[in-house]
Amino acid sequence: MGLFILRRLGVMLLTALCLTFIVFWLTNLYPNLEKLAKNQGNFRMSDEAVASFLGDRGYLQPLPVKFGQWLGVMPGWVTEGEDPADTFGRCFLAGTPEEDRPTRCGVLQGDWGFSTVFKDEVGATVLTRLALTGKLMLCVLLLMVPSALIIGVLAGMREGSKLDRSLSTFSIATTATPEYVSGVIFIALLASSKFGVSPWLADMGWIDGKTLFLGSATSAMENATFWNFFLPVLTISLYGMGYIARMTRASMTEVMTAQYIRTARLKGVKFSDIVMKHALRNALIAPFTVIMLQIPWLLNGVVIVETLFNYKGFGWLLVQAAANNDIELLLAVSVISVIVVLVTQLISDIGYVYLNPRIRIS
Amino acid sequence: MEPLTWTGSLSGLNYIFTVALILLAVSIVVQIALSFVPSGTTRAIHSDGTMASDSGAQGFVGMITSYLFYAVIALVAVYLVGGVLMGTGAGILGGMSRQMVPVWIALIVTFAVSITYKRKLGLYGKLFDSTVGMIGFALVMFWVFTGIMAGVFDMLTTHDTLSQVSGMKNKLPGTPMRSPDEGEYQWYLLGGDNLARDVFSRLLKGAWVVVQIAPLATLFAFMVGITLGLPAGYYGGRLDTFLSFLANLILAFPVILLFYLLVTPEIVQTGIPNYMAAFLFVFPLIFIGILLNSRYYTQPSFRTPLLIVVLGALGWLYLSLISTKGNIVDAGSYQIPGLPGFLDGFDIDPSILVVFVSVVFVNSPTVFRIVRGLALDIKTRDYVAAAQTRGEGPWYIMLWEILPNARGPLIVDFCLRIGYTTILLGTLGFFGLGLESESPDWGTTINTGRQLIRAYVHPLIPPALALLTLVLGLNLLADGLREESLRD
């Protein structure tokens, strides 16, 4: 087991390195750098001005060198000024005395760089946004997992019954509704002051505000309430719910046709006891893996929903960084998403082995 | 002129329709509730020794539900047929139904022909034995016909998708035009968007963008996935480790980040999408070449001319596809020459090409994993061992023994994946990547509409529902196919 985890960690490190290199390469292509320079300086810069702007800031070094500097295995670039006090580099600003200038600063030294969009340290920016998204994800998981499991177990309990048919259709419908469709429909129906149920409810005096739910989650960043936070959570949960529910149903129907369940039924055990005590535990092994593997998928939903509901979390940060070619921020964002993907895969593998007695004992 | 209402002179039916819908909902809920209670059916033993049991309360509610369901379907049909007959006399729905007459005819013909000959049509015919599959197929074909008719033949639409008409900005559905020209359609059936363009016509044209890209991109992704997945699963070893690592690498990228990195004007300038197109589009050639060669290499006199003709035609298509204006890659500072202009069959719009390439790129690793898994499973079967004993070559075994036996799951996944590709195309549009901002496709329309979502909902809801129904149709179709193929 230890060797397995070690090997997986090695592969993880290699994957993360390859991925960041690809991101690094794509963001450092010259047209992208030109856009960055024009965003930072001004839009009417001449080609020579762009080249000198980029050259001064170390963007025109060979790609492996720049990547090494970002990692922190190579000394950072230094641009000599006419006056020694004007000299600045990757790791220090102009006016830093010579003895205080570090030679290397990169990920290995714990320095994630400087965001050109937010004018702030990348590490701090990512952490604040990540905390906000963590809040969103926690709510999503709290809503999605129990409801998906309940739907799946109820549907798989009696295969082919009306309940199964209705719930299966519901789960197919949710997997067919991407977040930007369900989000738009929810806002239109529940959070528009002119359309849907809100004006009607407001006329009847059943709701205090103008709308049943708030269509923007910006205020939920500080103070999340049911009113401003439920729609984004519901939107993400619905899309992921269907898949987990279908997997749970498949696993439940398989368990319900097993020999030991038939034996229990023939012995005259109550149906509710069969489901709760005999079937459920075995039926929930497979969904566990699915839930873990679903988490990276939720990341996509998070990006869409945070953009749609204007919730400034990690997904919103990704969009901002990518749209403005903020290289170091984008690298940090991709490192984190890769880690999320690979760690959830690892947990799902380990968890599957741990939960399944047939594998654990052999 | 008066604005149109939703149902016009058929509005008397609205009450009946609402009541039927509510009753249907109630009866479904009751049915579900009853299924928790054990059924107490009574059994009667007749004098001749046979036994009969009544269907009990559940059967009774089930009967009511199915009647209500048929009633709702019939009422919808009345709205649509009334619309076909009365046109805008039956309101907005009637007007739309009248516009869609060619689609209705095409759908009815398809279904009539397919149901008549369903026993002779293999798996496709069996689809018509399952209700779910039929509903899915109807939804998918509705949008396919709409897309083709609106996009290729320019039928169905009421107005030009780009022309802006003064006074129609953000107007509600059914608003009449202020001063329609002679012979021009007099209403904006689904209202106008924030640039005063007709929402209905844009919706139909948007279907063409999806119908054009999604199936083809999925097909290319399958070609890539199959050509790489079969040897990875069959040979295993280093090759498998390497290809699986690459696939996992691409899968570890968040899709949206990948899109943001690949589908920007800056990246198009560097020519990377053209390199990727040249790489990805060569796989169908390899696939078909190996497929034919492995089958006919024992008869060189037949194989050689066949391969020359097939690969020649495909090669020309390939080169026309990847070369634009005589160049395969035109990165400004350098060019890689391709097919000269007079031989170039068609040019692909660079913005469509980059969307197409990135969608294929995102989809192929998943297909690779599925094919690899199937190949790993099937290569242990007896018929593969038999083929190996006969001395068949590895590619013959992979393409003519393993692949045909993996077709069931692959066909089902193909349907699901078209749906997923549709969602991806919508995602690209939603972030304003790739396609131009005036493109009528659904994702872009949702993106432009969401800025005004608090005030005007009507330009947004139609494309959202269209995307929902198309993807739902594909999912139901896949479900129906899965059920029917399992029944074999």
Nearest CA in chain B to A163: B32
Distances B184 to B157, B200, B440 between C-alpha atoms, Å: 11, 15, 21
Question: Angle at the Cα of B245 (from B240 to B248), degrees rounded to 5?
Answer: 120
Res A86 pLDDT > 70: yes
DSSP percent split of chain A into helix, strand, coil, nearest 5:
70, 0, 25
pTM: 0.90
Has residue A360 been placed in a domain?
no
Kindly tell me if the per-residue pLDDT of B47 is higher than 80: no
Sequential DSSP letters for B216-259: HHHHHHHHHHHHHHHHHHHH-HHHHHHHHHHHHHHHHS-HHHHH
Q: What is the CATH number of the domain that holds A204?
A: 1.10.3720.10
Instruction: Give me the phi and psi of A185, to 5 degrees please.
Output: -65, -40
Q: What is chain B's mean pLDDT, rounded? A: 87
Domain co-membership, A109 together with A132: no
Roughly what angle, to the nearest 10 degrees, separates helices B461-486 and B131-151?
130
Residue A175 lies inside a defined structural domain of this protein: yes
Picking from A116, A140, A158, the residue at the C-terminal end of a domain is: A116
Residue A115 pLDDT: 86
**Between helices B407-430 and A285-308, what is the axis angle to 10°?**
20
Q: Are residues A156 and A297 in the same domain?
A: yes
Residue B249 tokens read as 């690498």
Answer whether residue A357 shows pLDDT above 80: no
Give me the phi and psi of B131, to 5 degrees please.
Answer: -60, -45
Say yes or no for a CB contact (<8 Å) between A184 and B461.
yes
* Helix (H) or strand (E) run with residue A114 in it: strand A114-115
Q: Above 80 in pLDDT, residue B104?
A: yes
Q: Does A339 score more than 90 pLDDT?
A: no
Q: Which of A71-85, B125-139, B274-288 has the lowest mean pLDDT?
A: A71-85
Give the tens place of pLDDT for each residue, A9-56.
888 889 888 988 998 898 888 888 888 888 777 777 788 888 888 888
The domain total for chain A is 2
pLDDT band at B131 (very low <50, low <70, confident <90, very high): confident
> Do residues B133 and B480 touch, judged by C-beta distance below 8 A?
yes
Express each pLDDT in A307-337 by its tens digit: 999 999 999 999 999 888 888 898 899 888 8
Residue B260: DSSP 8-state: H
What are the residues whose beta carbons fall under 8 Å from the beta carbon of B63, sequence distance 6 or more?
Answer: B55
Average pLDDT over residues B15-24: 92
Confidence check: pLDDT of B397 > 90: yes
Residues A185, A80 within the same domain: no
Q: What's the rounded Cα separation, in Å, for the pair B386 and B401?
A: 10
Q: Across the interface, do A161 and B446 touch by the CB < 8 Å criterion?
A: no
Predicted confidence (pLDDT) at residue B457 exceeds the cutoff of 90 = no
Same domain, A220 and A275: yes
- Return the axis-axis angle of helices B407-430 and B461-486, rounded to nearest 10°: 170
Contact predicate B384/B397, CB 8 Å: yes
A244 and A285 inside one domain: yes
- Contacts for A270 with CB less than 8 Å, ≥ 6 apart: none
Beta-carbon count within 10 A of B82 CB: 22
Q: In the predicted model, what is the mean pLDDT of residues B114-137?
A: 88
Beta-ladder partners of B51? B45
pLDDT bracket for residue B168 (50, 70, 90): confident
Residues of chain B by 3-state class (helix, strand, coil), percent to 5: 70, 5, 25
The H or E element spanning position B300 is: helix B300-322
Residue B326 has pLDDT above 80, yes or no: no
pLDDT score for A129: 92
Is A361 within the bounds of a domain?
no
Quick one: how far is CA B420 from the chain centroid?
Answer: 8
Q: Residues A75-95: what's their mean pLDDT? A: 75
DSSP per position, A130-170: HHHHHHHHHHHHHHHHHHHHHHHHHHHHSTTSHHHHHHHHH
Q: Is B254 in contact with A296 (Cβ distance < 8 A)?
A: yes
Q: Are residues A150 and A197 in the same domain?
A: yes
A327: closest CA among A86, A2, A12, A22? Answer: A22
Residue of A nearest to B426 (CA): A180
Kindly state whether residue A128 falls inside one of the protein's structural domains: yes
- Write out chain B residues lying below 8 Å of A29, CB-based: 266-267, 270, 272
* pLDDT tens digits for range B237-269: 899 999 999 998 888 888 888 898 888 888 888
Name the DSSP letter for residue A311. Answer: -
What does the pLDDT average to over B169-194?
82
- Tell me: do A350 and A205 sit in the same domain: yes
Give the amino acid at A256: M
For residue A322, which residues of chain B lie inside 8 Å, CB to CB?
A: 256-257, 260-261
Residue of A nearest to B272 (CA): A26
Q: Binning pLDDT at 50, 70 and 90, where does residue B430 land? A: very high
pLDDT of residue B38: 62
C-beta atoms of A337 and B257 within 8 A: yes
Residue A219 CA from chain centroid, whole number: 21
Burial of B177 (0-12, 13-18, 19+ CB in 10 A): buried
Given this model, what pLDDT does residue B42 score? 62
pLDDT of amino acid A361 = 57
Q: What angle do CA B41, B47, B48 make, to 5 degrees?
A: 100
Does the residue A14 lie in any domain? Answer: yes
> Is A176–B453 a contact, with Cβ atoms under 8 angstroms apart?
no
Number of A:B CB contacts under 8 A? 144
The answer to whether residue A90 sits within a structural domain is yes
Domain range annotation of chain B: 203-487
B484 CB contacts (<8 Å, ≥6 apart)? B123, B126, B127, B129, B130, B133
On average, the pLDDT of chain A sits at 85
**A238 and A330 share one domain:** yes
> What is the chain A residue with the closest CA to B461?
A185
Q: Which residues of A touch B256 (CB under 8 A)?
A: 300, 303-304, 318-319, 322
Higher pLDDT residue, B35 or B161?
Answer: B161
Band of residue B39 on the pLDDT scale cut at 50, 70, 90: low
Residue type, A125: T
For A:41-80, CB contacts with B below 8 A are: none
pLDDT tens for each residue of B329-348: 777 677 777 777 777 767 77
Rounded to an integer, what distance in angstroms lies between the CA atom of residue B482 and that of residue B127?
10
Q: Do residues A162 and A200 both lie within one domain?
A: yes
Q: A78 pairs with which residues across the strands?
A: A89
Which of A91-95, A221-225, B371-375 has the largest mean confidence? B371-375
Question: Mind giving me the DSSP string for B321-339?
Answer: HH-BTTEEEE-SS-EEE-S
Q: E strands along B51-182, which residues?
A: 51-53, 175-176
Structural domain boundaries enclosing A12: 2-116
B15's tokens: 């009450």
- Determine the Cα–Cα distance for residues B345 and B330; give it in Å rounded to an integer: 18
The tens digit of pLDDT for each residue in A50-75 reads 888 888 888 888 888 888 888 888 88
Q: Which residues of B touch A23 (CB under 8 A)?
A: 257, 261
When mean pLDDT is compared across B46-55, B162-171, B180-189, B317-326, the lowest value belongs to B46-55
User: Which residue is listed with tokens 């692959």?
Assistant: B410
Token readout for A115 is 């965001």
Q: Containing H/E element for A79?
A: strand A78-79
Instruction: Flag whether A191 is in a domain.
Output: yes
- What token pair was written down for B289? 């070449």
What's the CA gap between A179 and B256, in Å, rounded? Answer: 13
Over pLDDT 90: what percentage of chain A? 25
Q: CATH homologous superfamily of domain B203-487?
A: MetI-like (1.10.3720.10)
Q: State how far the alpha carbon of A61 is from the alpha carbons of A29, A326, B332, in Å.
A: 12, 18, 22
- Distance CA(B67)–CA(B72), nearest Å, equals 9
Pair (A224, A131) in one structural domain: yes
Tell whether A57 is covered by a domain. yes
Taking contacts as CB-CB distances below 8 angstroms, the residues of chain B near A303 are 254, 256
A 243-302 near B (Cβ less than 8 A): 271, 296, 299-300
**CA quadruple A25, A30, A33, A39: dihedral sign:** negative
pLDDT band at B488 (very low <50, low <70, confident <90, very high): low
pLDDT value for A141? 92
What share of chain B in percent tops pLDDT 90? 42
Chain A residues closer than 8 Å to B419 by CB = 176
Q: What is the pLDDT of residues B215-239, one digit of tens each?
A: 999 999 999 999 999 999 999 889 9
Length of chain B counted residue by residue: 488
Do A67 and A160 lie in a common domain? no
Integer Cα distance of B359 and B255 in angstroms: 10
Predicted pLDDT of residue A202: 80
Which parts of B127-198 fold into alpha helices (H)? Answer: 131-151
